[in-house]
């Protein structure tokens, strides 16, 4: 996971593996690690035949994350499905030691 700050916009780039091959997935923000509440989709993508993908999300990501009042923890997750119909969360970003 990388974040590139370009001034008014940011680029989030994720290299993901271990997904179902050739299936739609969503990179999203979640309020819980399980994704039990509504997800905020950042990017849709389809995994390659090996179940991998390089995903890019471009936009005012910092403003989206900061625009919710007091600092609350949110998680970057990968969910099966599309932005309009996300399915179960299959991966959660963990903190580096």
Q: Flag whether 13 is in a domain.
A: yes
Q: Flag whether 43 is in a domain.
A: yes
The CATH number of the domain holding residue 86 is 2.60.40
What's the number of domains the chain is made of?
Answer: 1
Do the Cβ atoms of 37 and 31 come closer than 8 Å?
Answer: yes
Do the Cβ atoms of 87 and 79 come closer than 8 Å?
Answer: yes
Q: Flag whether 36 is in a domain.
A: yes
Q: Flag whether 97 is in a domain.
A: no
| Domain interval for residue 22 | 2-92
What letter would DSSP give residue 64? H
Q: Flag whether 56 is in a domain.
A: yes
Q: Flag whether 23 is in a domain.
A: yes
pLDDT tens-digit profile, the chain (97 residues): 787 888 888 888 999 999 999 999 999 988 887 777 788 899 999 999 999 999 998 887 766 655 455 657 778 899 999 999 999 999 988 765 4
């Amino acid at each position: 996971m990388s974040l590139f700050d370009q001034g008014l916009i940011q680029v989030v780039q994720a290299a993901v593996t271990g997904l179902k091959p050739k299936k739609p997935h969503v990179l999203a923000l979640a309020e819980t690690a399980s994704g039990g509440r509504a997800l905020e989709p950042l990017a849709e993508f389809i995994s390659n035949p090996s179940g991998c993908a390089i995903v890019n999300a471009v936009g005012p990501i910092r403003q989206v994350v900061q625009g919710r009042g007091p600092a609350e923890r949110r998680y970057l997750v990968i969910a099966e499905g599309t932005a309009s119909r996300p399915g179960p969360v299959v991966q959660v970003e963990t903190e580096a030691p």
